[in-house]
């Protein structure tokens, strides 16, 4: 059985720290990186 959590308020929006943003940008610039690979890693 799978549990699903529905977020209906402003808490749906993800807050990224500066360090997380930097890591995401660096990973996106890596050779062979694709947007699908980056999205599935988080």
Q: What is the pLDDT of residue 6?
A: 75
> What is the maximal distance between C-alpha atoms in the chain?
39
pTM of whole model > 0.75? no
In this predicted model, what pLDDT tens digit does every residue of 1-42 receive, in sequence order? 788 877 676 665 677 899 998 988 888 888 888 766 545 554
Q: What is the pLDDT of residue 18?
A: 93
Q: Which DSSP state fits 12?
A: G
How many angstroms separate the CA atoms of 24 and 19, rounded? 9
């Amino acid at each position: 059985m799978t549990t699903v959590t529905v977020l209906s308020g402003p808490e749906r929006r993800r807050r990224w720290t500066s360090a997380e943003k930097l890591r995401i940008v660096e990973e996106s610039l890596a050779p062979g990186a694709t947007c699908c690979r980056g999205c599935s890693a988080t």
